[in-house]
Structure 1
Amino acid sequence: MSGQNKPDKALLEEVASLREQLAEAGELLGAIRRHEIDALIMEGADGIDQVFTIKGADLPYRLFLEKMSQGAVTLNLSGMILYCNQRFSELIELPIEQIIGSYLYQFVVLEDKPLLENALKKSERANFRCEINLSTVGGGKQVPFDLAFTPMLIDALPVICLVATDLTEQKQTENRIRAALVEKETLLKEVHHRVKNNLQVLHSLLKLQEIAIKDPLVAELFIECQNRIKSMALVHEKLYQSENFSRVDMKTYIQSLTNNLLHSLNFISERVAIDLKIEGVLLNMDTAIPCGLLINELLYNAFKHAFPGERKGIVKIELSRDSRDMLRLLIADNGVGIPENLDPQNTETLGLQLVGMLTKQLDGKLEIQREGGTTFTIKFREQNYRERM
C-alpha cells in the first residue's frame, strides 16, 4: 500500500504546482489588463532573458496610423477631437496641436452640420458611414470626404474612431465621366435625328414620284417602299425622343407604325379594327428594326388581302417576352385567309419573301395557322450587337 501512495503523492504535488502556476498566470493577466505592469521578463530557450514591453505593444499600430494615406481621428461622443494623425492635419491645413481639443463641427461646412450630428448619434452604437464636406483652414475651400465612424472603448471611455478619405479626385473623375456621357448621348441623339431625317427625305421623294405615276400597280409598289422606309425611320425617331438611346419601347413604336399604315391606306381604317396587346417590351436597335419591318409587311398584307370589298374584321397584334427571354410576335386576322398552297418561304411576292428573310435574320421560327383567317406567329430572341465592318 505504501508503494502505491508514492505515485499518488507525486501526482498530487504536480497538480498543486500546476494550480499555483495557473493562479500566477491569472494574476499576471489581471495586472496586464489593469495596466499595472510595464514589461515582462521571460527566460528564452537559450537561457537568455527577453524583455517584452506591454505599453510599447501598440507602437506598430501608432506607426500605421501616422503613415496611412487617410485622415485618422479619435472623438469623444460630443465630437471633440482627442487625437488626429499627420494626414488629417495636412487635409485640414492646420497643425495638430491646434486641431486637438477642437470640435469636428468647426471644420464642417454649415449645410452639412446636421449630417455630422446625425452621424455622431448613430455611431455611438454601431458603425456608420456618410459623405460630408469639410472646410480647409488654410485655403478656405470645401473638400468632400467619406467619413467612416466606429465606436470603441478605451480604458472604459467610449470614443468614436473616424477614418476620413478625401474624395476630391474621385469626384473629379466622376464629373469627367459624367460630362463625357452627356457629350456621347448628345452625339448619339444627333445621329438618330439625322438618320430619321435622311429616311424621311427618301420617303418624301418616293411620295413625290408616286404622285406622278399613272400605273396603279407601280404606284402601289412605291407605297410599299414608303411604308418600309417609314418603319425604319420610326425606330430612330423613337430612340431620338427617348431617354434611353439603345432600346426601343415596342408598344409606342408599334402604335405609331400601325397608325402610319392606316393613314397610308385610309380606306381600310373604317372597316378594320386593331387589337393591340403589347407587354412592356424594350428591344435594341438590331432587333427592333427587323421586327418592325416584319410587322409592317404582315400588317400591310392583312390590310390589302384579308378584307376584300366591304368586308369588316379585326387584326390582332401581340408581342410578349416569356421567362426564358423568348419573344413571341403574333399577327392574326379574321379575314378570308391565305391559300393552302402558299408558302411564304417560297413565293414570288416580295412582301412575303421579306417576311421569310427577316425571320431568318432574327434567328426566329415562323408558324402559320389558316383557321378562321390567318395567324402568323414568330418566336425569336433579342439579337446581340453584331460588329459592323
Structure 2
Amino acid sequence: MKQKIWQWRGVLITATSVWLAVMLMRYAGGLQLLEWVAFDQFFLLRPMETPDPRIVIVTIDESDISEIGQWPIPDSVLVKVLQKLQQQQPRAIGLALYRNLPVAPGHQKLVEVFESTPNLIGIKKVVGNVSEPAVESPPVLAQLAQVAAADLVLDADGKLRRSLLSLKDLEQQTVLSLGTKLALIYLEAENITLQVIDESQRRLKLGKAVFTPLRANDGGYIKADLGGYQILSNFRRPRGGLNTVSLTAVLEDKIPPELVRDRVVLIGLKAESFQDRFYTPYSHSLDTTLAGVEVHADLTSQILSAAVEGRPLIRVWSEYYEWLWTFAWSGIGAILGCKFQSPRGTVISTALTGSGLILGAYLLFLAGWWIVVVPSLLCLSGAAITSTGYILWENLKLSHRQLADYARTLEQKVEARTLELSENNLRLQQEIHERRLAEAEIQRQLTAIEATLDGMAILNQEGQYIYLNTAHLQLFGYTSPAQLVGKTWRELYYPEEVERIEREIFPFFLQSKQWRGETTGKRRDGSTFQEEVTLTVLEDGGLACVCRDITERKLYEAQLQASLQEKELLLKEVYHRVKNNLQVITSIFSLQSQYIEEPQMLSILTECQNRIHSMALIHQKLYQSDSLTQIDFADYIESLAHQLFVSCNVSPNRILLKLKVTDVSLNLDTAILCGLLINELISNSLKHAFPGQTSGEISINFSTNSESKLNLIFKDNGVGLPAELDIQQINSLGLRLVRALTRQLKGKLQMHSNNGVLFQIEFPKPKERRRF
C-alpha cells in the first residue's frame, strides 16, 4: 500500500515538474513559433469551402496596367469603373487603393462620383512606421465619413493570423477596418446591426456572431501586440479561389449585367510587381499568398458568414483552462510512464495518446476552437519519459537487491531450478509435438489459400507484406514473394491513389476495422487495373487483404449503362414524335374548322381538338420530365385547364379555377384516361354552367385517400341541372365519355347537382412500372 502511495506521489511530482518546465519555456516565447506552425497545419488540413457569392473583387494586374498605360491609374479611368459598377447597384464598394492625391486627368469628376456614391468606402493607413508611413484618405470621403482603415497585423514570422475590426487614429477616434465597414453596410440591408453585449470585456454581437477581442497570451501567442480591436482570422479556403473580375473587363463591359448587384465589391491591386502580397496560414510559397484586397475581402466574408450563417469564429480558452489542459496531459504522460514500464510500451502508448490529442485539437479547430497543442505534447512526452526513467531506475535498484538475496540462496535455487528444468523439458516436448501439429494445420490452410483465385496477403502493423499467395503476385505482375515481402502496400499503387486511400479509406477503416471497396492497382509493368479489395484488421494489429481484378466487370457495367441511356433516348424520341403527330392532327382540325359554318359541327371539331390536345400534353410532359414512365399530374392539370380556358375564350378572371392536387404521379395509360376525363368535365362546365357573362368557380381536388385508391372531385357553382331532371338518366355524349373513361379506370362515379354539379370518381392507384 505504501509503495502504491509512493508511486502516485512520484506521478504527481513528475507531472508538476514537467508542467512547470514547459510553462517556463512557453512564457519565455520558446514555443510560440511551433504553435503557429501547428495552427497553420490545421488550416491546411481543413476541407475546402465554396467561394462567398456575396463578394466580388475587381483586380488590377499587370495586364490592366499595361492596357491603361499609366500608374497610378488616372482619376478618369477610376470614374468609369465606379460608374459602371454603380449601375449594377452593389450594396457596398470598397476602394482598396490609396487616393489621397489627385491623378490627372478627371480628378474633379472623381470627386463628384465620390460625393454621389454613399456606399463607396475609401481607405487610409492609420498607423505608420519608418518603412510604411501613414497615408491619408481622399479628403471628400473623409468629410463624408466614408473611410476605413487598410492596416494589417503581421506576426513575427511575417504571416497574417489576426484581423483588425477597428483601431484608434492619432485623434483617438475609432476607425473601422475596410473589411468590417463593408460587412456592416451589407448587413444593414438585412436589419443586422452591431450591438455591445459586455462593455467591460468589449464583447460585441452581430447577428449570429459574437466577437471577443484577442488577449496578449491567447492561443499560441505570448505577449502579443494588441493595438486596436483584434480577432483571430478564420480564413476561408474557397474551392477555385475568390470571385474576381479584371479592371479591363469592367471597362469593356465584359462582365455579366447582374454580377455585383446586392453584393460587396472591392477594387484593389493584384499585380505582383508592387509586392502587395501577404502570407496566410494557407501560404507555402509566393504563389499562394494573398493580395491586400483579397485579405480585406476575406475578412468581409468571415464577418458576413459568421453573422448570417453562424460560421464559427476562432475562439480560445482562458489561460486558466489552458493551464489545467496542459497539466492534465502532463499527468497522463506520467501515468503512461508508470503503467507501461518498458520504453517500447511507453513510446507506443505515448504516440497513440499524442495522436488522439492532435486529432481532438483538430476536431475542436473545425468547430472554431484553437487549443494549445505543442505544450500539451511536450508535457505528455516529457512526463512519460521522465516517469519511465524513474521507474527503470527504481527497478534497477530492486534488481540489485534481489540479486544479493539470490546469491545467498543459490544452492537451493539451483536444485529447484534443475527440477523445474526437468519439468519444463517434458512440457517442451509436448509443446513441440503440438507445434508440429499446428504447423501441419497451417500448411494445409496455406495450401488452400494458394489454390484460391483471389489474391490474399497479410501485412504487419507498418503496412509491410509478410505473406502473399500466388494469385496476389500474378494479379500485380510479380513472380516471386521475395519481390514484395518486406515492402509496403504503397509499392502497388500510384502516388495519387495512395493519397486517396489514406485520405478517404483509412479514417473509416481504422474506425470500423473492416472495409470493402474498389481501388486502382498498379502492375509491375506500370499498367493499371480496377480491383475489389477487402481489408480486415487482425488481432495483432496487422492487416489481411483479399483482392480481385474487376476490370472486365466494370467494362460490362459501363456497356450496360450506355445501353440504358440509348434506350432512354429512344423512348424520349418516341414520346416526342407521338406528341408532334397529335399536334399535327390538332392543327388539321383547327384548319378544317375555318371552313365550317355550322355551329354544332364546329363545336364537335373543337371538342375533338381539345381531347387530342389533352393526350398530346401527356406526351409533352413525359418528354420534358426526368422520368419517362411517370407524369406529375398537378402540373399537367394546370396546363390542361389553361388550354381549355383559351380554347373556350373564357377569362380566368370571370371563372376562377381552384386546384388542390397532392403529389400524385401517374403512368402513361392512366394519365391519358384521367386527362380525357378532366377535359370533358372542364369543357362541359365552361360551355354550359356559366351562361352569358356569369362569373363562377370551378374546383378540382385530386388526392390519395388510401394506399391503393385515388379520389378525383370536380365541382362548379354554375346553374346546375333542372330539379325535375334525373341526373342518373342523362345520356349525353360527354357524360357517356365520362362513364366509359371511369369504367376503363376501374373506378366508381358519383354525380350530384346542387348549386352546380359535383362529380366524384374513385379508382385504384396504378402500380408503378419499371422503365426497362
Q: Which amino acid aligns with 2:519?
A: I
Structure 1 SS opposite 2:627:
coil
Q: Once the 2 structures are TM-superposed, how far is the Cα of residue 259 of structure 1 from its aligned partner?
A: 1.0
Q: What is aligned with 2:629?
A: 246
Contact 1:287 1:382 in 2 (8 A): no
Contact 2:475 2:548 in 1 (8 A): no
Aligned equivalents of 1:350 and 1:109: distance in 2? 75
1:242-269 superposed Cα distances (whole Å, 9 cap, x missing partner): 1110111101111111111011012343
Aligned equivalents of 2:565 and 2:508: distance in 1? 38
Q: What is aligned with 1:209?
A: 592
1:57-94 superposed Cα distances (whole Å, 9 cap, x missing partner): 12232122112121111122332222111111111112
Aligned equivalents of 2:496 and 2:735: distance in 1? 67
Q: What is aligned with 2:44?
A: none
Aligned equivalents of 2:634 and 2:430: distance in 1? 78
Quick check: 115-124 or 191-200, which moved more?
Answer: 115-124
Q: What is aligned with 1:116?
A: 501
Matched, 1:137 2:520: no
Alignment counterpart, residue 325 of structure 1, candidates 696, 708, 731: 708
Q: Once the 2 structures are TM-superposed, how far is the Cα of residue 374 of structure 1 from its aligned partner?
A: 1.3
Q: What is aligned with 1:57?
A: 441
Q: Once the 2 structures are TM-superposed, how far is the Cα of residue 212 of structure 1 from its aligned partner?
A: 0.9
Alignment of 1:236-275 (within 5 A): 236-275=619-658
Aligned equivalents of 1:247 and 1:330: distance in 2? 22
- Number of aligned residue pairs: 341
Q: What is aligned with 1:9?
A: none
Alignment counterpart, residue 128 of structure 1, candidates 515, 523, 531: 515
Aligned equivalents of 2:537 and 2:683: distance in 1? 71
Counting aligned pairs with the same residue, the percent is 37
Q: What is aligned with 1:283?
A: 666
Q: Which amino acid aligns with 1:111?
A: E
Taking structure 1 as the reference length, the TM-score comes to 0.82
Unpaired runs of at least 5, structure 1: 1-26, 41-50
Contact 1:39 1:55 in 2 (8 A): no
Q: Once the 2 structures are TM-superposed, how far is the Cα of residue 380 of structure 1 from its aligned partner?
A: 0.8
Evaluate the alpha carbon distance shift between residue 124 and residue 197 of structure 1 in structure 2; reply closer, same or farther with a 3 A threshold: closer
Contact 1:73 1:81 in 2 (8 A): yes
Matched, 1:148 2:531: no
Evaluate the alpha carbon distance shift between residue 285 and residue 131 of structure 1 in structure 2; reply closer, same or farther with a 3 A threshold: same
Q: What is aligned with 2:733?
A: 350
Q: What is aligned with 2:16?
A: none
Give the structure with the larger strand fraction. 1
Contact 2:493 2:522 in 1 (8 A): yes
Higher relative contact order (CA 8 A, sep 6+): 2
Alignment counterpart, residue 460 of structure 2, candidates 64, 76, 81: 76
Structure 1 SS opposite 2:542:
strand
Q: Once the 2 structures are TM-superposed, how far is the Cα of residue 52 of structure 1 from its aligned partner?
A: 7.5
Evaluate the alpha carbon distance shift between residue 67 and residue 366 of structure 1 in structure 2; reply closer, same or farther with a 3 A threshold: same
Q: What is aligned with 1:165?
A: 548
Evaluate the alpha carbon distance shift between residue 121 and residue 185 of structure 1 in structure 2; reply closer, same or farther with a 3 A threshold: closer
Taking structure 2 as the reference length, the TM-score comes to 0.42
Q: Which amino acid aligns with 1:132?
A: T
Q: Which amino acid aligns with 1:69?
A: L
Evaluate the alpha carbon distance shift between residue 286 and residue 54 of structure 1 in structure 2; reply closer, same or farther with a 3 A threshold: same
Quick check: 368-377 or 108-117, which moved more?
Answer: 108-117
Matched, 1:103 2:483: no
1:189-234 superposed Cα distances (whole Å, 9 cap, x missing partner): 0000000011011000000011110011110100000000000001
Structure 1 SS opposite 2:569:
helix
Q: What is aligned with 1:45?
A: none
Q: What is aligned with 1:292?
A: 675
1:288-332 superposed Cα distances (whole Å, 9 cap, x missing partner): 000110010001111111111221111111211234231111111
1:17-53 superposed Cα distances (whole Å, 9 cap, x missing partner): xxxxxxxxxx99xx79xx972325xxxxxxxxxx982
Contact 1:146 1:165 in 2 (8 A): yes
Q: Which amino acid aligns with 1:62?
A: L
1:321-360 superposed Cα distances (whole Å, 9 cap, x missing partner): 234231111111111113453546x544221111000000
Quick check: 174-183 or 372-381, which moved more?
Answer: 372-381
Q: Which amino acid aligns with 1:75?
A: L
Q: What is aligned with 2:65?
A: none
Q: Which amino acid aligns with 1:76?
A: N
Quick check: 330-339 or 254-263, which moved more?
Answer: 330-339
Aligned equivalents of 1:339 and 1:71: distance in 2? 85
1:130-178 superposed Cα distances (whole Å, 9 cap, x missing partner): 321111222x22212221111113xxx3201011122212211211110
Q: Which amino acid aligns with 1:330?
A: I
Aligned equivalents of 2:657 and 2:495: distance in 1? 61
Matched, 1:381 2:767: no
Q: Which amino acid aligns with 2:707?
A: R
Contact 2:522 2:528 in 1 (8 A): yes
Structure 1 SS opposite 2:702:
strand
